Amino acid sequence: MMTIAELQNEIIDEFSMFEDWEERYQYMIDLGKTLPLIDEIYKTDDHIIKGCQSKVWVHAEMENDKVNFTADSDAIITKGIIAILIRVFSGQHPKDIIDADTDFIDKISLKEHLSPTRANGLVSMIKQLKMYAIAYQTQLN
Amino acid sequence: MIFDVKSIREDFPILYRKVNGKPLVYLDNAATSQTPQQVIDVIVDYYSKYNANIHRGVHTLSQEATDAYENARRTIQSHFNAKHPHEIIFTSGTTHSINMIANGFASLLKKGDEIIVSALEHHSNIVPWQMLCEKTGATLKVIPMNSEGELIISEYDMLLNENTKLVFVNHISNALGTINPIENIITKAHDVGAAVLIDGAQACPHLKPDVQKLNVDFYVCSAHKICGPTGIGMLYGKEEWLQKLPPYQGGGEMIAEVSFDKTTYADLPHKFEAGTPNVCGGIAFGAAIDYMNTIGFETIAQYEGELLEYATTELLYIDGLKIYGTSANKTSVISFNVGNIHPYDLGTLLDKMGIAVRTGHHCAQPIMDFYKIPGTVRASFMFYNTKEEIDLFISALKKSIMMLS
């Protein structure tokens, strides 16, 4: 299993091959389409992360001290962003998720999605993933 | 005056900037309009030459600032054809104006009274009345809309009765662009003795309301939708109503005499303008109204009508595109979705191509619930937009759809 930092670097490498926004966004849209979907039973209001414009559902489970995330959104670009986050954080130890920094978002030119005015919930998404990790970490302690 | 959009555009420096390397196509005018150089100059002039606190100082700067501020009030009075300048209250904007009225009515309403709002309202038009109803025990009734996005007046007729104390409707819907039949709504409300407040935020950029002819009790709007700065707006109220309502905030400016036993309130409009106002904003608001009148509202309406028709026709060629708000009586706002594509996805890709539109529920969730959609993409046009810009918008939209399908 690659570490969070290794996965982030791998994603940065992939994105560095794109020449313009179009390729970058097309890639995210395609990622969005392949996102492993959340089980329908978890697509309820208590699994929702409320961004202003698109809905995001996240579910987490711990297995062998690793946290697995599944998610979905009603907007495809948002799904692409989630797919990237899940690739980085899913299957990792809760402590590593808690400690991870998210600078790689800047490096793949997705910083605009971090702005609160974008209101797509990227900030809340990261926060939510970390919250799950914190909850599971307390179970391990 | 001959309307030449090219020379009009030269008044707006922001229209020449680039976004993401592409020329800006600004189609989010219903959220905020852009500011012409003539208004920017007034702002610069104010801070460069006569910035001062008003109504108090005996010195020259204060006199000049007071004169300019009160002149702006008279410009606004004459634009809306109010009977008196003191019927124009400067506020921080439409939301502030509405809250002032809601607050004022808190002392006039009792349990059993009814307030009517419309299904087309912006959140800022719903929440203050809900709060008011909670406070007073009054009930909130809603005029429903049909699938064209028009209010159903026969339903309104049935809501009206002797308990109706206040009717609150927007002149034009921000989410759909529908022009509401406010003359009819006002007359019928007055027949049962109710007061009427009209939210003109979306109407003032496109038409020139005459408050006396409308016989409306309160009319509110924001300067930033009509080429003025943010943070300033107005409340028009009939003199007798403004006398009747208690002041909104305590502070300087709004008092006549203060002692620890009793304070007497200042005359209108100062009773409602506590503290140091947005002097520069007020003056620039006046300048914005002057600017719009130089172009002329008939000219504006005619040109924007052409833009609306052109954009509507072109958009409807796109497969799967559905327009929400299809009243024959609407302004240059087009709210739409394409197939099952989320509006947020379209808005994000359009921005990458320099096109500014609004996406989301437009602070009008009840309307989105009516259509059972999460939101829409909304393109809204002003007199400085062009058919060429609409072409750029349409081709960017087609490209976005292709990327997302």
Whether B23 and chain A come into contact, CB under 8 Å, resolves to: no
**C-alpha–C-alpha distance, residues A20 and A89, integer Å:** 27
Judgement on whether residues B279 and B383 belong to the same structural domain of the protein: no
Judgement on whether residues B74 and B136 belong to the same structural domain of the protein: yes
Q: In chain A, helix, strand, coil percent, each to 5?
A: 60, 15, 25
In chain A the domains, ranked by start, together with CATH numbers, are 4-140 (3.90.1010.10)
Judgement on whether residues B105 and B12 belong to the same structural domain of the protein: no
**C-alpha–C-alpha distance, residues B393 and B405, integer Å:** 18
The parent domain of residue B14 ranges over: 5-30+297-404
- Looking at per-residue confidence, does B114 or B250 come out higher? B114
Whether B344 and chain A come into contact, CB under 8 Å, resolves to: yes
Min distance B80 CA to chain A CA atoms (Å): 35
CB contact under 8 Å between A75 and B349, yes or no, is no
Q: Is residue B35 part of a domain?
A: no
Q: What is the mean pLDDT of residues B58-67?
A: 93
Place of tokens 């097309």: A26
Judgement on whether residues B160 and B21 belong to the same structural domain of the protein: no
Domain end call among B294, B315, B350:
B294
Q: How far is C-alpha B119 from the geometric centre of its chain's CA atoms?
A: 17
Q: Is residue B257 part of a domain?
A: yes
Judgement on whether residues B202 and B344 belong to the same structural domain of the protein: no
| Percent of chain B clearing pLDDT 90 (strictly above) | 81
Catalytic residue among A37, A52, A134, A135: A52
> Domain with B151 in it: what CATH number?
3.40.640.10
Q: What is the pLDDT of residues B192-201, one digit of tens each?
A: 999 999 999 9
CB contact under 8 Å between B348 and A21, yes or no, is no
Judgement on whether residues B223 and B151 belong to the same structural domain of the protein: yes
Residues of B in contact with A29 (CB under 8 A): 345, 403-404
CB atoms within 10 A of CB A20: 10
Judgement on whether residues B96 and B203 belong to the same structural domain of the protein: yes
Q: How confident is the model at residue A121 (pLDDT cuts 50, 70, 90)?
A: low
Q: What is the pLDDT of residues B323-335, one digit of tens each?
A: 999 999 999 999 9
Query: For residue B400, what are the contacts with CB-CB under 8 A and spacing of at least 6?
Result: B345, B346, B349, B350, B353
**C-alpha–C-alpha distance, residues A138 and B326, integer Å:** 55
Residues of B in contact with A21 (CB under 8 A): 20, 352
Our CA angle for B94, B96, B100, nearest 5°, is 115
Residues of A in contact with B345 (CB under 8 A): 29, 75-78
Residues of B in contact with A74 (CB under 8 A): 342, 374
**C-alpha–C-alpha distance, residues B202 and B195, integer Å:** 21
Q: How confident is the model at residue B263 (pLDDT cuts 50, 70, 90)?
A: low
State yes or no: is A52 an active-site residue.
yes
> Domain with B343 in it: what CATH number?
3.90.1150.10
**C-alpha–C-alpha distance, residues A77 and B227, integer Å:** 34
Q: How confident is the model at residue B189 (pLDDT cuts 50, 70, 90)?
A: very high
Judgement on whether residues B290 and B277 belong to the same structural domain of the protein: yes
Q: How many domains does chain B have?
A: 2
Judgement on whether residues B194 and B333 belong to the same structural domain of the protein: no
Whether B342 and chain A come into contact, CB under 8 Å, resolves to: yes
Domain end call among B257, B275, B294:
B294
What is the value of ipTM here, to two decimals?
A: 0.86
